[in-house]
Chains A and B, each alone.
Chain A
């Protein structure tokens, strides 16, 4: 098979044979001899002092081995680490211990752990633990929690519950607003979400005292990071810990952090000298695995009547929950505020973020991590602006897009967008969706609806459903990321990635990558890269990940970094191998290195393709290392380890168009059409790219229409089961029309960008814009998500529609 066809080919995934036959190995599947089971007792109060814990009854139950409280292990575990301690943000990092000792700070906060012979017995024992709590006042929303009279989670360690205060600004925002012809203002809420990977989290730890080694199987997106953080928490030396994570059932960011219970399981394994396993159930997952989003934003836009946007001002209250999770501080700041000019030529920008602790589950990175929040407010305020100046939303966007010849483009926030063609994807999306026809259909339906509803004086049975068309144009920062930038923001490590590529004597290739895909398909796409680079058969390439004993340090999979960054490391490793191989080939062919050509896995002297050496023959020679095989000065072997630190982030972009139908009797919204045009540069495997886009869209649409993590005022998570939290089924979601353009990243060896999160980033505002568009004739500027039927019904039943658009250039904002 010709080399070139691997790259860009829709190759079936090699992950699938084991997964479709039920032979995946997820953490819950691992069985060890003498394994015992842990269960955590969690606080039913959002905020309370722990007065006493009595474990005697529990200890006496059948099968129970130990019952441990926070006090018992107070000196044995360090606090849960926060790995992104923002610089220049007055950050306060509270000490949060894996098992609480004096106080609980959210419903679900662990206070004790039981180890028993079976998980059933462990669950029984939990009920027998007697805890006396003194409930305290709880605060659940971020705007209240930072007020002077709010109850404090960590007393004076975090005054006003304000964990950080971060700002970014550029240009002259005051002047932009002072001179603005038009301003619009809105309070936008990006509601709290539950990541809901279908596999709950868990850990299985085993300690081998004779070698003083610990092995941990964990549901992790980043095994080495877990190894390091577990080492920091438990004191076990890093190099004595092996973390294994073969198959992981989805992460979406929720399996990045190191969680307290994981360290407790490790400690128990060490103390009991038994393998200890803990697997969450779904309710536990919902109260103790990190949540996503939860921003309250005050957004203002300044502009001109001709549609030019001159300034953006945002004040954000970010709810961080009850502890600072691993990456949490960077999500509503670095990954959010720096993207607020989006794909537009906005020069004047100001963003202020208050990171507030509350008596709720911690919030950390969730698919998109900061960028969905940024794109949401930008695309919503642009639409509100467009309506105010009575301009088509696509025209406003085109007016303000950074033009395709302006790249690399430095934003007011200091990022350098690598490449882009925003207008290109927008026009393509409009074309595919039939935008003009849609607008005509919309107008016709509106007219008919208005006629029907006024015809008989009182509301006749109106069958007409209103159509709404929503756009969302985005650019996002991913391929995290250049270490010097990342470190300067306070992230604890760099965001490079490692790869070892090893050619075996027989010519087979093993790739050890620091990326850790959990559905994104890199076992396949990395093989495609290597097969293309080295000219070998796809079947002869093995991709290994997820085991800290096998892979040099890897930073893991999140932030759409695996294909660009881990892939980049692999490419460079392959190229260094080819360099060495070329030298060996030259030696074997008794030619000069400059005369050697490499093509489709063969080295030959230019002009004599008939006499060639395959990579396998070169490999053998490298291990044979005889004087006729290896030139002097060259070491035997044919492998390379590369740590690739990307020179920049990558910036995929695109436009999505969503068409909705609103049932005017019930407020129900149905998506009639969804078009996505995305550009992630070169694509290794278009089938996998589409899959990532589909999945991303589904989660973004779900936020717009159905999902919300709801707390009552006492801090109880009302949506604590999958029966309450409305994750959509196949019936709710539409099929997606996807297309792509290819604008390579100039700084990337393969021209590729990431695409794992773009669907989620783009889709949420596309849907909300569509619904607001459908209801625009009812004077609607904004509706808070999720757009449940009742919200829409209230608007429809309390206002009368007008045929003309209500906006006028002289009306106040």
Chain B
């Protein structure tokens, strides 16, 4: 018998079955019914629930192609995990309220603000940070990085990694051919205090063109290859 059956008869308005109440109804206090209770059917006992909770957790995250395994507190923010536990300092912290976007990374293919996630949420996920964008040992710049460079799309550089990652998501997942307005909306989650955004917009426009023509080249190659079969 489980405390669930007993509690389901309680009225909607009353407070939910409290652990001591439930324990009481089943006989014996909950504190005695500790870790060893077995699972029955679809409903588990208190010990499994407690086991489900953790004060520390080991997580496995793939970052820039490399798998890391670390033990962390649940309250550790993802951005602090990336910076302090993995030593990847390119992702920056600029605010406390999810406004500035300097902490933007790509997680599971989506741009996210890593200051507003816990590291434990990234368990089993794939992350791309600014350090993972340039190519290979020679660190050949990604077209977006090159575009920022060519168009003077940065000054102090602090907001830049977050902006580049957001631009990366915008152009590769969301909209490869954005209008100026769409670009400005697309980066509205990233604050820059130095550039006035003018050159950032130009950089992203330029990157969009580069990426589109690179894709067009690939298409040509693929088509040619297919033609040959």
Contact = CB atoms under 8 A, between A and B. Distances in A.
A binds B: yes
Interface of A: 12-13, 15-26, 28-29, 31, 120, 196-200, 247-250, 252, 281-283, 518-521, 687-688, 690-691, 694-699, 721-723, 727, 729-731, 733, 735-736, 759
Contacts of A519: 154-157, 194
Contact of A19 (B73, B154, B181, B191): B154
B90 A21 contact: yes
Given A29-B89, A197-B156, 4 more contacts: A20-B157, A250-B194, A699-B196, A736-B196
Chain A CB count within 10 A is highest, among B89, B191, B192, B197, for: B197
Contacts of B190: 729-730
Nearest to A281: B96
Nearest to B161: A22
27 contacts: A16-B148, A16-B149, A16-B157, A21-B130, A21-B145, A26-B158, A120-B73, A199-B92, A199-B158, A247-B158, A249-B158, A282-B95, A521-B155, A690-B152, A691-B194, A694-B195, A694-B198, A695-B194, A695-B195, A695-B196, A721-B96, A722-B97, A723-B97, A723-B98, A729-B189, A733-B198, A736-B198
Contacts of B122: none
Contact of B199 (A12, A18, A691, A727): A691
Contact of B96 (A282, A695, A697): A282
A196 B193 CA distance: 7
Q: Which 4 A-B pairs have the closest CB atoms?
A: A22-B90, A249-B158, A19-B157, A698-B196
Chain B CB count within 10 A is highest, among A22, A25, A29, A698, for: A22
A218 to B, nearest CB: 15
Interface string B133-172: 1100001010001001110101111111100100000000
Given A518-B156, A698-B196, A26 B92 contact: yes
A250 B92 CA distance: 13
A21 B131 contact: yes
A695 B97 contact: no
Nearest to B203: A20
Interface of B: 73, 75-76, 83, 87-100, 102, 129-131, 133-134, 139, 141, 145, 148-150, 152, 154-161, 164, 180-181, 183-185, 187-201
Contacts of A29: 83, 89
A698 B189 CA distance: 17
Contacts of A24: 90, 157-158
Nearest to B93: A28
A521 B157 CA distance: 11
Contact of B197 (A13, A199, A730): A730
B96 A283 contact: yes
Contact of A22 (B96, B129, B184): B129
A694 B196 contact: yes
Contacts of A19: 154, 157, 160
A31 B88 CA distance: 11
B103 to A, nearest CB: 11
A687 B152 contact: yes
Contacts of B161: 20, 22
Contacts of B192: 198, 730
A731 B197 CA distance: 9
Contacts of A722: 95-97, 99-100, 191
A20 B188 contact: no
A394 to B, nearest CB: 25
Chain B CB count within 10 A is highest, among A24, A247, A518, A730, for: A730
Given A249-B158, A521-B155, A695-B195, A23 B97 contact: no
B149 A198 contact: no
A487 to B, nearest CB: 31
A24 B162 CA distance: 13
A151 B170 CA distance: 54
B184 A20 contact: no
Nearest to A195: B193
Contacts of A21: 90, 130-131, 133-134, 139, 141, 145
Contact of B152 (A13, A247, A759): A13
A698 B185 CA distance: 17
A122 B123 CA distance: 26
A721 B75 contact: no
Contact of B155 (A23, A520, A735, A736): A520
A733 B184 CA distance: 9
A12 to B, nearest CB: 6
Contacts of A687: 152
Given A22-B91, A723-B99, A691 B195 contact: yes
Contact of B89 (A22, A283, A518): A22
A20 B154 contact: yes
Contact of B183 (A281, A282, A697, A730): A730
A772 to B, nearest CB: 23
Contacts of B196: 694-699, 733, 736, 759
Nearest to A729: B188
Contacts of B201: 730, 735
A723 to B, nearest CB: 4
Contacts of B185: 731
B149 A17 contact: yes
Chain A CB count within 10 A is highest, among B91, B92, B164, B198, for: B198
B156 A249 contact: yes
Given A22-B89, A22-B91, A252-B193, A198 B102 contact: yes
Contacts of A28: 89, 92-93
A730 B92 contact: no
A735 B200 CA distance: 11
Contacts of B149: 12-13, 16-17, 20
Contacts of B75: 120
Contact of B193 (A20, A22, A198, A521): A198
B209 to A, nearest CB: 17
B159 to A, nearest CB: 5
Nearest to B130: A22
B199 A15 contact: no
Nearest to A725: B99
Contacts of A200: 93-94
Contacts of A199: 92, 94, 156, 158
Nearest to B139: A21
B7 to A, nearest CB: 35
A246 to B, nearest CB: 11
